[in-house]
Amino acid sequence: MHLLRTQPGGFVPDDGIAHLAQTPGEIVVLCSGDSHLALLAEATRSLDEDYPSLRLANPMQLQNHASVDLYVEEVLSQARVVFISLHGGQGYWRYGTERLAELGARGLTLIAVPGCDRPDPELMALGTVAPDLAERLWRYLRQGGLGNARDFLHCLAAECLGAPYTYQPPRELPRVAVYQPEGLGLDGWRQHWRPDWPTAALLFYRTHLQSANTAFVDVFCQQVAAEGLNPLPIAVASLKEPACLEEVERLLDETSAALILNTTGFAQSSPERPNLTPFRRPVPVLQAICAQDNRERWLENPQGLGARDLAMHIALPELDGRIITRPISFKGLAWRCERSQSDVVNYQADGERMAFVARQARNWIELARRPAADKRIALILANYPTRDGRIGNGVGLDTPAAALGVLQALQTAGYPVANLPDSGTALIERLLGGVTNDSALRDLRPALQSLALQDYQALFAGLPLSLQQAVTERWGGPETDPMHRRGRLMVAGVRFGLTFVGIQPARGYDVDPAAVYHDPALVPPHGYLAFYFWLREAYGAQAVVHLGKHGNLEWLPGKGVGLSAECWPDAILGPLPNVYPFIVNDPGEGAQAKRRTQAVIIDHLMPPLTRAESYGPLRDLERLADEYYDASLLDLRRATELRGEILQLVRETALDRELGLVITDDPDSWLPQLDAYLCDLKESQIRDGLHVFGESPTGQLRRDTLVALLRIPRGDAQGGNASLLRALAKDLQLEFDPLAADLGEPWQGARPACLAALSAEPWRTLGDTRERLELLALALVAAMVDAEPLPLALVELPATRPVLEHLVTQVAPALDGCGPAEIGGLLAALDGRFVPAGPSGAPSRGRLDVLPTGRNFFSVDVRNLPSMTAWRLGWQSANLLLERHLQEEGDHLRQLGLSVWGTATMRTGGDDIAQAMALLGVRPVWQTGSARVEDFEILPLSLLDRPRVDVTLRISGFFRDAFGGLVRLFDAAVQAVAALDEPDDLNPLAAQVRRERAALEAAGTTADLARRQAGWRIFGAQPGAYGAGVQGAVEERQWQDRSELATAYLNWGGYAYGAEDEGTAARDDFSRRLGRLQAVLQNQDNREHDLLDSNDYYQFQGGMLAAAETLSGQRRASYFGDHAQADLPKIRTLKEELGRVVRSRAANPKWIAGMKRHGYKGAFEMAATVDYLFGFGATTELVEDHQYRQLADAYLLDADTRDFVERHNPEALRDMTERLLEAQQRGLWQQPGDYREALEQLLMDMDEA
């Protein structure tokens, strides 16, 4: 056996090159906390002249190997004593601690202590002094204060260098203290308080108090008081310490605090051990951000805050349910300590941002203090595309019914709601009685509310000048806006009593083709601004409810996180409370709303889930196949007739084209493939209707959903976490895996009577066995939750019984609790109360911990990605992809394009990045004893046994904002692999980088830029912008041929990202990358949605394929990664997946029947499906004529369905008809035959009606 050597990658999570320009000193003190350094620098003022030479530095400034090595050479190697206090353990400065250990082994006196209050034995073991000395020095710093700082320096010199200094033991300071500059404590504050003002507690780290770094606290208190609130500043060592938390709780209770403004970082809880209500008082907790960056860098950085701030002050605080606000202070230079050759930094207040957060606090407190009858609440319905048939976007949500349900709940709670319609469809009809975003009928409808032009202009003048100029340059004056009418700007919506339901305005109007292709940062027009100005100022909303995933406000241009006054979401919404019902399986886009529009998420359930089952010609084919196999054994003549019937039906349904069947005289060569496909379609998971906010599924919907939740394994897959189907197969001794089997294979196992009794259909294949297990599972679930008769005694089911017990005690109650919890969470938020935090994810992918919904969901610790679980899946999926490509293309895959989204990364823990790393031939390295990724290692070619793959990533805007660490990790891996000396055919990345680098240098590019440019493999939208650019062209019908869609994709995505690039314009480089691709890939991690549920799929994968094929002039392979079951990933072609989705869901009468329960929104979903299929046809040219026919037959030419759509959403009927005719006109639907006349007639009938 040979050990295969891997190479360490040398990656650091927050890369930065620094030269501290210090001369050697006898004593060097390294602290990762600037407050400690500031305190020690202050203490040096009292040191005598004979004190040993001293240097102070923050090791976090030395974040790459080169800068560490330089500091070691210039300073540390000549020191006699080095003390290091490091927050987060060795993993935060791994290479630096390794170099220190080397120095310690050569005689350096080394003391290593943690930068927090928790012992770190691994770190402290690096030291070379007695443990009691290290403990004492650690305590000096942890207790803080100027006296302790002086004694720290005296003790260090006396004990380590024998200098003649005396010192006192560390003096204990309170772990929690009310801060008052005059030292009067709580009583002192009370003397200044107004008795009629509510109290806002302001929590900040005790270290600020210990180091006299409290100027920013003073300013914040002043801003809070200016909003009519009594400030209560509390210094706290750590909210994780029970004693500290208890004292904070006592102070909150004693002062009846109405709200908490928290400036401390991290979280009290963790994803593994969530504490859903961290404080006893049910009051909102606003996270006010004390940024690690300086203000100038923040202003210049289009991303806003850096990776450390994102983790410490945003992602982790979300675990506690805190409302994310704005940066209120930044680190800045306070003074230069010449004695220690260090710059002393402190937190410096940003008065404007503090005022914003203080007003936000006031608004949340006002929600709690104002009676419900006096509150004005606005519900906002998204509307894109901006047509009347598509009002109320909300993924998985019956948005109109949800709006009505919310209004009814508000009315019951005493809010001023009146004159409610009797259905969601009727609510939409009321909205359509006034102006909307649809330009066709806007001028014929009344404006039920509007804003006077002069009032608008006054509010517009209050915007930052840069924003005013941007709007005027792009859109002209407000008089030219389509929403302007006779001196007023119209606002789309209707009031039910004093409660408003509005249609969110469009991002733009009459957008010319140049803007579609070239303007990813389109600024909102005057009508958009007027809508929110009216809400805030004229209507006087106390809160807004953006109903359903997702609107467009959180995607407007501006910083990704840590917004400034010049970011559009900040300027438009202001500090208004924003409550956002959002589907629980989309943490990424929900996090976008939390971080950019201060949203409190009220997560809601996904739609009910069910099996697709068979229908129509698919069921006929299944029956014919069963008859054929029976006849082939008994009646060859009948078998021949049946073969003919099967062939005829296969060709009529175009299944031969869809499956690429090679039809021969021997059915055994192609019928098993057909058989397996039919079984696969039948067992596909689809949605049965939509979720109604505030309602849990009941009856059959409940039973089917419960089976779906138990179908795949969860957690450790043991006991109650086992797959229900696998447990049943085990108990019945079937000896096969129902989740992994080839369903078309003949069944040769046992046929237990309990399964045989469930169906009279033939039992021939593994698929037939799987179907019977599904029926048994459904019967058992019904028996357990609905008290129906048990089909089988539980004593006979030892593996299944724990799963069913888990169902009864945990899963069913959690599912049933979703509806009440959703309404409860919404009302709590609008009452100004704390909404408990909760995890997010796809329940049917094993994340049952996200139930019940109704919580303010959080996502993941970004430092732990990719997770070990994600790596296992990514490695397995990568190998499946490589095997399939080799099998079908006859050569190894060497050039791949992969779309990577932030929300999927949050759901999965980084499946996509793990897969990309596996393809590249590198593996993450996790910190010992931790889940944190600290590096990567390069896997040798001998282990891979295939070429490395040159992977180009097209990342989403949210991924860019949320996962800067993963961008740098993958970029570091790319650069390391590109530097390897390996054969060109086995390392195509290195070969291509060498060629491009040489060509660039020959053309006059500097060596450093050529190195960077040749290595660019991560591309995305320009900083501050989002999307892929294709949807606008498709929706506005502003394209002539596929190459124009490719142009839009390239223009929007042509910005390079990496360790040294934060959105460098690189369109030509992006084009070169895509032109060399052999294949494109996109993964999907759950089956609670599909490719035809969102425009994002055709924009990203379709756009990439269009670009790759346009640039190369050749067809390229396109793959779909099915990661819905983490232990069983599958790779299909994109064409195969489109066929599966159309047959299993889009054209399935079962899905259509579910949509018919939802009136207007059900018809909306059909229209959206047609749009997205068309989008794939336009971008990929993979949609076949028969798929257009299937949707035309199902939605428009079926009389019952057409009548349903026409009754509930006539504009959706028009949209679908026009879109399918457009597909014909553009040659996407190549041979429509009689369908053209039928659709044209339908359109004429609508025009005449």
Q: Write out the DSSP string of 571-612.
A: HHHTT--EEEEEETT-HHHHHHHHHHS-EEEEEEPPPPEEE-
Amino acid found at 7: Q
- Token pair belonging to 559: 């910083």
CA dihedral sign, ordered 534, 536, 540, 546: positive
- Calpha distance 667→647 (Å, rounded): 10
Check whether 515 has a pLDDT greater than 80.
no
Check: CB of residue 27 under 8 Å from CB of residue 55. Answer: yes
Check whether 289 has a pLDDT greater than 50.
yes
- Calpha distance 50→319 (Å, rounded): 50
450-452 vs 54-57, strand pairing mode: unpaired
Segment 467-496, tens digit of pLDDT: 999 999 999 999 999 999 999 999 999 999
- Check residue 1073 and give its pLDDT: 98
- Rounded alpha-carbon distances, angstroms, from residue 1218 to 437, 999, 1233: 19, 49, 16
- Token pair belonging to 114: 């943690």
- Calpha distance 731→623 (Å, rounded): 30
Instruction: Specify the residue for token string 């230079």.
Output: 333
Check whether 423 has a pLDDT greater than 70.
yes
Segment 885-910, tens digit of pLDDT: 999 999 999 999 999 999 999 999 99
Q: Report the CATH fold assignment for 176-365.
A: Rossmann fold (3.40.50)
Q: Locate the domains of the chain by residue range.
A: 8-161, 176-365, 370-609, 613-682, 697-816, 863-1013+1025-1146, 1147-1249
- Calpha distance 1132→658 (Å, rounded): 13
Segment 1124-1170, tens digit of pLDDT: 999 999 999 999 999 999 999 999 999 999 999 999 999 999 999 99
Segment 980-1011, tens digit of pLDDT: 999 999 999 999 999 999 999 999 999 999 99
- Residue 1 DSSP SS3: coil
Check whether 793 has a pLDDT greater than 90.
no
176-178 vs 342-349, strand pairing mode: unpaired
Element holding 111 (H helix, E strand):
strand 109-114
- Rounded alpha-carbon distances, angstroms, from residue 1245 to 1159, 1213, 1239, 1248: 22, 11, 10, 5
- Calpha distance 470→489 (Å, rounded): 19
- Cα dihedral value 872, 874, 878, 880, nearest 10: 60
From the CB of residue 638, how many other CB atoms can be counted at a distance below 10 Å?
14
Segment 690-747, tens digit of pLDDT: 999 999 999 999 999 999 999 999 999 999 999 999 999 999 999 999 999 999 999 9
Angle (CA) 886-892-898 rounded to 5° is 95
Instruction: Specify the residue for token string 């995505």.
Output: 1053
Segment 51-110, tens digit of pLDDT: 999 999 999 999 888 899 999 999 999 999 999 999 888 888 989 999 999 999 999 999
pLDDT band at 4 (very low <50, low <70, confident <90, very high): very low
Helix axes 988-1002, 1007-1014, angle to 10 degrees: 140
Instruction: Specify the residue for token string 């608004």.
Output: 363
**DSSP for residue 1113:** S
Q: What is the mean pLDDT of the chain?
A: 95
Helix axes 399-412, 818-830, angle to 10 degrees: 60
Check whether 1096 has a pLDDT greater than 80.
yes
- Check residue 259 and give its pLDDT: 99
- Check residue 190 and give its pLDDT: 86
Segment 1166-1223, tens digit of pLDDT: 999 999 999 999 999 999 999 999 999 999 999 999 999 999 999 999 999 999 999 9
- Token pair belonging to 218: 């003073």
- Calpha distance 353→346 (Å, rounded): 17
- Residue 892 DSSP SS3: coil
- Check residue 513 and give its pLDDT: 56
- Calpha distance 428→410 (Å, rounded): 19
From the CB of residue 379, how many other CB atoms can be counted at a distance below 10 Å?
24
pLDDT band at 192 (very low <50, low <70, confident <90, very high): confident
Amino acid found at 787: A
- Check residue 12 and give its pLDDT: 47
Bridge partner list, 346: 332
Instruction: Specify the residue for token string 């469009």.
Output: 506
**DSSP for residue 539:** I
- Check residue 274 and give its pLDDT: 67
- Rounded alpha-carbon distances, angstroms, from residue 158 to 133, 152, 162, 169, 326: 11, 10, 5, 14, 45
Check whether 116 has a pLDDT greater than 90.
no
- Check residue 276 and give its pLDDT: 74
Instruction: Specify the residue for token string 């089988």.
Output: 792
- Rounded alpha-carbon distances, angstroms, from residue 885 to 922, 985, 1079, 1119: 20, 16, 9, 9
- Check residue 927 and give its pLDDT: 84
Q: Write out the DSSP string of 318-385.
A: GGGTPEEEEEEEEEEEEEEETTTTEEEEEEEE-HHHHHHHHHHHHHHHHHHHS-GGG--EEEEEEESS
CA dihedral sign, ordered 1070, 1071, 1074, 1075: negative
Amino acid found at 362: R
- Calpha distance 609→1174 (Å, rounded): 25
Helix axes 1042-1053, 1067-1075, angle to 10 degrees: 130
Nearby residues of 501 by Cβ (< 8 Å), 6 or more positions away: 378, 379, 381, 403, 407, 427, 431, 493, 494, 495
304: left (phi over 0), alpha (psi -120 to 50) or beta: left
In total, the chain counts a number of residues equal to 1249
- Calpha distance 276→849 (Å, rounded): 12
- Token pair belonging to 148: 């302790």
The answer, yes or no, to whether the previous bond of 852 is cis (omega within 30 of 0) is: yes
Element holding 215 (H helix, E strand):
helix 215-226
**DSSP for residue 22:** P
419: left (phi over 0), alpha (psi -120 to 50) or beta: left
Helix axes 146-161, 34-43, angle to 10 degrees: 80
Domains 8-161 and 176-365 share a fold: yes
- Check residue 788 and give its pLDDT: 81
pLDDT average, residue stretch 172-194: 84
- Calpha distance 709→1038 (Å, rounded): 43
Q: Write out the DSSP string of 607-640.
A: PPEEE----HHHHHHHHHHHHHHHHHHH-HHHHH
- Token pair belonging to 821: 């919890």
Check whether 2 has a pLDDT greater than 50.
no
pLDDT band at 339 (very low <50, low <70, confident <90, very high): very high
- Calpha distance 292→306 (Å, rounded): 8
pLDDT average, residue stretch 1239-1246: 96
Nearby residues of 183 by Cβ (< 8 Å), 6 or more positions away: none
Task: Count Cα atoms within 13 angstroms, Cβ side, for 756.
Answer: 5
Query: E strands along 19-78, which residues?
Result: 27-31, 54-57
CA dihedral sign, ordered 291, 292, 294, 296: negative
- Check residue 3 and give its pLDDT: 33
The answer, yes or no, to whether the previous bond of 231 is cis (omega within 30 of 0) is: no
b/e burial code for range 1174-1184 (CB count within 10 A of at least 16 → b): bbbbbbbbbbb
Check whether 1 has a pLDDT greater than 60.
no
- What percent of the chain lies above the pLDDT cut of 70? 97
- Check residue 183 and give its pLDDT: 64
Segment 748-769, tens digit of pLDDT: 999 999 999 999 999 999 999 9
Q: Report the CATH fold assignment for 8-161.
A: Rossmann fold (3.40.50)
- Check residue 5 and give its pLDDT: 43
- Chain center to CA of 388: 29
Segment 654-671, tens digit of pLDDT: 999 999 998 888 888 899
Nearby residues of 580 by Cβ (< 8 Å), 6 or more positions away: 545, 546, 590, 593, 594, 597, 599, 600, 601, 602
Instruction: Name the residue among 455, 449, 506, 512 with its Cα closest to residue 481.
Output: 506
- Check residue 514 and give its pLDDT: 56
- Calpha distance 552→589 (Å, rounded): 11
- Token pair belonging to 1065: 């314009």
Check: CB of residue 769 under 8 Å from CB of residue 747. Answer: yes
